[in-house]
Amino acid sequence: MNVSDMLEGKVAIVTGGTRGIGYGIVKKFLEAGAKVALFGSRQETVDQALEKIQSEVPGGEVMGLHPALGDFDAAEKAIQSVREKFGKVDILVNNAGISARESLYEYKPEDFEKIMSLNVNAVFNCSKAAAAIMKEQGGGSIVNISSMVSIYGQPAGCGYPASKFAVNGLTKSLARELGRDQIRVNAVAPGVTRTDMVAALPEEMVQRISATIPLGRVGEPEEVANAALFLASDLASYVTGTILSVDGATQV
């Protein structure tokens, strides 16, 4: 698919952009003509991602930062620095997040707070900071990365689906609030995707997982990135408040 001009002239921020789905979105957006700022958790991983992406998309305009997204002032400072570097902010992808699998009986309250800080508070912080810039510019697009567990829940690690339910709530509410400022807010809810975590699983386990998916396989990061590209682009100019499932019709 030729996407070389879908985001021409746009400036995008992708949190959690150093690996997996986030990295796939960074690459897809650069290929579509955007200037991209990728946010990561550490300078080391940001530097590694920048080196890799510059070899894969030569000539792409990309920068990297590692703000503490759970802190509003840090998130706002980072987003302002993107505007200073690239002149504006058109697109925000809230992808940064962590998951959990602990049983409620073993779940530590501080771990629950940690997952909420990154998976929910960071989405609020980045959206608030970016929306202020987008409003001044006359519009923009926010794409939140949710999960299929935001719809189905999961049998352990309740903090993760709870955080993604909250992301869906933010998505729908902000779409209604920010629509008057021509800021669209949508979410992508991926199913099982071939990230580092899935790639590390034994092949027989991946096959068992795939057997529950009508399409017969796990998803690829690029397929989630394609959905994010659509929602971020002008092709979705009348789409807002939507939670787009990209899960192969997974049966849970």
The whole-angstrom separation of Cα 217 and Cα 191 is: 11
Specify whether the CB–CB gap between 127 and 227 falls below 8 A. Answer: no
Tokens read off for 210? 């795939």
Radius of gyration of the CA atoms of the chain, in A = 17
Q: What is the DSSP letter of 71?
A: S
Specify whether the CB–CB gap between 239 and 210 falls below 8 A. Answer: no
User: What residues form DSSP beta bridges with 184?
Assistant: 141
Of residues 23, 105, 160, 238, which has the active-site annotation? 160
Residue type, 111: D
In the chain, % helix, strand, coil (3-state, to 5) comes to 50, 15, 35
Max Cα distance, the chain (Å): 52
DSSP, collapsed to helix, strand or coil, labels residue 65 as strand
H or E element in which residue 93 lies: strand 91-94
Closest CA to 88 of 6, 4, 12, 175: 12
The whole-angstrom separation of Cα 206 and Cα 208 is: 5
Check if 107 is active-site.
Answer: no
| First-last CA distance in the chain | 31
Residues annotated as catalytic are: 160
